[in-house]
Chain A
Amino acid sequence: MFKISLNIIACFKWVVDHEDIKVNPETNELVLDRAGYRISDYDRFAIEEAVALSEQYGGSTTAVTVGFPAAKKSLKDALARGPEKAIFINDPAFANLEPSQTAAILAQSINNQEFDLIICGEGSGDLYAQQVGPRLAEHLNIPCASFVRKITIEGRELIAERRVDEGIEIISMPLPALVTVLPEINSPRVPGLKDTLAASKKPVVEITGSDLEETVPCLETVEIKATTMERNCEKFDANEDDLKRFVEVLLRAGVID
């Protein structure tokens, strides 16, 4: 296959690990102070796809994240997954951005980079608003395809298989373009020790909030509460008596006839 050489940008977010989220039982508020962070699961597929495409067609991958200073920890992990370099758009004010701001910040930072393709996860593991990709495409005025499960490149055209509600749509669009990818698109490689060692030698470009125009939120959070599911929590054993009792309970509840 002939080489095309693609400059690919993979966007990723450093998100709170929800397994670590605790709830204050009195106020029902979330306790996040001690929670760990990780690269959003969905974005692992974006990074993998960028790296796999640049291996297949030639070229290189840049991993980009917008975050607060602690997100620096994410860079090594991201770079161990294969990208050649990273851009860290970093500011203490970037801790709780909403999608419109993240997209605007990414657009300003990416605008003067050379790129053929931007890949984002379909949504982030924390907010899962699924807006940053399409909004970013609008800011950069490039074509976009969301919920993509397969990408091929033909010359300067990108062919994508995307999910729509009735099935699959196969679209083509000229590069440069943006796609958001579904988890089914690939199986991200697990970085080994060698990858992790190599990652610390890769270049990181840092951009700070003062290099960029300020963004203002459009949304205002009124409150965030833990969701509760009040259920009976009655347990049965697997012995015959218990199972018969289980069936009776269902009958009484009127859910089976």
Chain B
Amino acid sequence: MAGVWVFAENYEHGLELLQIGRSLADKTGVELTAFACGDKEVGQQYIYYGAHQVFILPPLAEDQPLETYVPAIAEVARQEDPDIFLFAATLRGKEIAARVAARLNTGLCSECIELDIKDNKLEMKRVLYGGAALQTIICKTRPQMATIPVHTFTSVTDLDNTRQGIIKEFDPISSTPVKVRDRQPRAQESGDITRSRVLVCVGRGVEKEEDLKLARELAEILGGDLACTRPIAEELHWMPQETYIGLSGQTVKPELYIGLGISGQIQHTTGIRDSRIICTINKDEDAPIFKISDYGIVGDLYKVVPFLSQELARLKKK
């Protein structure tokens, strides 16, 4: 069965791809196929949520990494020749998609943030130059492939557990030379900033680790979460990796973003583009972040933040 295919390493992202996959399949009048990794129950759910067909990849052994699926995925795609093949852009999903695309000699749009059908072709958009530009591309070879950042689309909702579909199970997969020796889950659950309604984001303008408490206090009063720029996480290690925003970090879309001591380099601001309201506190009135802020305060965060916290707390009490 040709049509639109989707692959996600987990169920949640699978539902997001089903949403966009279904709209593309409907627009082009083709069927939708989803992969389920090692779990028949997940495959069954995908059918209830609108997949016409599911491929159940066999469960992997403890030492087999997810990429072990690459040859099997590429082989079935070669045989059945889908029109469109979408992958959830998790870290492993990005590697798998690139390797499958190489095996199929086809083009891949990485981290596609918008896609639509134009003249029966998939038109895809992605950012370039650290977020400074938006590129629109089409893929001239088959399948037309893209990776889709997680949470770009909402999940499908219309569950119908009378829906029927085709379930195809794969033979066990032989190992590749890459072996998993150990897995270390994230040390602390830092919460998922991609879902926060309010984010207070700290940058290098914060001088010492202990000063994060000023930001944390403000975040708490606003009922929001704390996020940061890359240097805070990667160079200073003050905050977990998954709390930094930007090109190589998270893309967020809160109702309110407040940036403290952040210069506004494009690699960071590309991750906050979809925020509803952007506020900034920076002592340098020429900081580039003011150009992309709705409301900017020119001032020392060490004076401004405690005042704001106090003022907000006072209003809250009222």
Contact = CB atoms under 8 A, between A and B. Distances in A.
A221 B123 CA distance: 10
A223 B136 contact: yes
A183 B186 CA distance: 19
- Ordered nearest first, which 10 A-B pairs have the shortest CB separation? A238-B299, A218-B107, A138-B102, A134-B98, A135-B102, A255-B256, A232-B294, A219-B107, A129-B110, A222-B136
Contacts of A56: none
Given A16-B129, A173-B179, A255-B277, A130 B290 contact: no
Interface in B112-139: 123, 127-139
Contacts of A183: 234, 248
Contact of B182 (A138, A170, A227): A170
A21 B132 contact: yes
Interface in A79-138: 98-100, 103, 122-123, 125-131, 133-135, 137-138
A256 B109 CA distance: 38
Interface stretch (B26-34, B52-60, B86-94): B86-94
Contact of B103 (A138, A220, A232): A138
A247 B91 contact: no
A163 B91 contact: yes
A234 interface: yes
A18 B241 CA distance: 24
Interface in A215-250: 217-227, 229, 231-238, 240, 242-244, 246-247, 249-250
7 contacts: A130-B98, A134-B99, A170-B181, A173-B177, A222-B123, A233-B293, A244-B311
Contacts of B103: 138
A139 B104 CA distance: 11
B208 interface: no
B132 A30 contact: yes
B285 A255 contact: no
A176 B187 CA distance: 32
B109 A219 contact: yes
Please tell me the size bucket of the interface on B.
35 or more
Contact of A100 (B9, B107, B222, B279): B107
Interface string B211-233: 00000000000110000000000
B202 interface: no
Contact of B183 (A98, A168, A227, A236): A168
Give chain A's interface secondary structure class. mixed
A190 interface: no
B291 interface: yes
B40 interface: no
Nearest to B295: A234
A253 interface: yes
A224 B90 contact: no
A138 B247 CA distance: 26
B317 interface: no
A219 B137 contact: yes
Contact of A168 (B95, B138, B184, B296): B184
Give chain B's interface secondary structure class. mixed
Please tell me the size bucket of the interface on A.
35 or more
B238 interface: no
Contacts of B138: 219-220, 222
A1 interface: no
Contact of A21 (B110, B129, B256): B129
Residue of A122, A143, A240, A255 contacting most chain B CB atoms (<10 Å): A255
Nearest to A131: B98
A157 to B, nearest CB: 9
B95 A146 contact: yes
Given A169-B180, A233-B296, A242-B297, A221 B132 contact: no
A221 B297 contact: no
B304 interface: yes
B129 A139 contact: no
B160 to A, nearest CB: 29
Contacts of A139: 102
Interface in B24-70: 65-67
A195 B248 CA distance: 30
A61 to B, nearest CB: 23
Contact of B304 (A18, A147, A172, A238): A238
Nearest to A174: B177
A46 interface: no
A166 interface: yes
